[in-house]
Amino acid sequence: MEIPQLWLKKARENSTSQSEYKCKKCNDTGYISVIIEGVSYAKECECLIVNKLEAQIAKAGIAQAFKACTFESFEPWEPRVFAAKEIAQRYAKDFLSIERERINSLSLLGAVGSGKTMLGICVLNTLVRAGVEVLYTPYREMASALKRSVLDEYEYAKVCRRFTSPRLLFIDDLYKGAASTDPKYVYDIINARYLAKRPMLITSELHADGLMHIDEAVASRIIEMSRSYIRELRGDGLNYRLRGL
Ligand SMILES: [Zn+2]
């Protein structure tokens, strides 16, 4: 999780509400009615989808990052970070047209503190506003949830579905703090999404070869799916926490 203070400050400044209803589309009910062939249906309002994502991010302890991380406010401090921003932005722009393709995922790999989580959240922030159902999960949380349920077949299937069904799954910090039994669980999720051509957004401190070293089957699927949208950040001077030292 990599969120610098500057972004947190911006988020606080932007968070004051200006109208009675936060959402004018649904008057804060979370639903709007749509009429299809003369029949009226309740449909989730965009604000409900946005709120769900905000709750997921808050649960991970980076609540302020949600409002702060937009492509408009993300200022790259380094040419390599600039290139990563460019690819993330292109991915967000292309998403709706590549979603069902073989190559439909984004991977940001490498250096600690290089803004990978922030850029991933910028992508989510853009897509939820286009009505895309996304799930953000820190890697550790996903691995623990799967492990906890593994002895109960029904429960395990249910937990798997939580990670395989959203239109876009963001796994933040893949393999961070992984135990030796982790790869099996990770495989179940990645493979299911691979087979169903469901997009993923992956960040990891490991490079592609490091991912391959842990589990070739998982790594090769991720790399194949993000072939057009993959960035490895290597070398010194990338960590925003060390800027100015
Ligand atoms: Zn609404």
Per-residue model confidence as pLDDT tens digits over 114-161 = 889 999 999 999 998 888 889 999 999 999 999 999 999 999 999 999
Ligand 1 mean position to 28 CA, how many Å?
5
pLDDT for the residue numbered 113: 81
Residue-wise pLDDT tens digits, 39-61: 999 988 888 888 888 888 887 77
Residue-wise pLDDT tens digits, 177-193: 888 888 889 999 999 99
CA distances from 2 to 33, 40, 147, 173 (A): 39, 44, 26, 10
Ligand 1 mean position to 43 CA, how many Å?
10
Residue-wise pLDDT tens digits, 79-104: 999 999 999 999 999 999 999 999 99
Is 175 in contact with 141 (CB distance < 8 Å)?
A: no
CA distances from 181 to 67, 142, 148, 159, 202 (A): 35, 13, 12, 17, 20
pLDDT for the residue numbered 165: 95
| pLDDT grade for 242, boundaries at 50, 70 and 90 | low
Ligand 1 mean position to 23 CA, how many Å?
5
On the question of pLDDT at 66 being above 50, the answer is: yes
Ligand 1 mean position to 32 CA, how many Å?
7
Ligand 1 mean position to 150 CA, how many Å?
37
If one counts every other C-beta atom within 10 angstroms of the C-beta of residue 239, the result is 17
Ligand 1 mean position to 31 CA, how many Å?
6
Q: How many CA atoms lie within 13 A of 4 on its CB side?
A: 18
Is 84 in contact with 212 (CB distance < 8 Å)?
A: no
Ligand 1 mean position to 217 CA, how many Å?
41
Percentage of the chain exceeding pLDDT 90 = 62
Ligand 1 mean position to 53 CA, how many Å?
14
Is 108 in contact with 88 (CB distance < 8 Å)?
A: yes
Ligand 1 mean position to 26 CA, how many Å?
4
Secondary structure class of 22 (helix, strand, coil) = coil
pLDDT for the residue numbered 16: 45
Is 60 in contact with 138 (CB distance < 8 Å)?
A: yes
Ligand 1 mean position to 92 CA, how many Å?
22
Ligand 1 mean position to 49 CA, how many Å?
9
Ligand 1 mean position to 25 CA, how many Å?
5
Please give the domain boundaries of the chain with CATH numbers for all domains. Answer: 5-234 (3.40.50.300)
Ligand 1 mean position to 200 CA, how many Å?
26
Is 10 or 162 the better-scoring residue by pLDDT? Answer: 162
pLDDT for the residue numbered 59: 79
Ligand 1 mean position to 128 CA, how many Å?
12
Distance CA 203, CA 173 (A): 5
Task: Using only the alpha carbons of the chain, give its radius of gyration.
Answer: 19
| pLDDT grade for 64, boundaries at 50, 70 and 90 | confident
Ligand 1 mean position to 216 CA, how many Å?
43
Distance CA 213, CA 200 (A): 20
Ligand 1 mean position to 21 CA, how many Å?
9
Q: Which residues contact residue 37 at a Cβ distance below 8 angstroms, ignoring those fewer than 6 apart?
A: none
Give pTM, 2 decimals.
0.83
Ligand 1 mean position to 141 CA, how many Å?
29
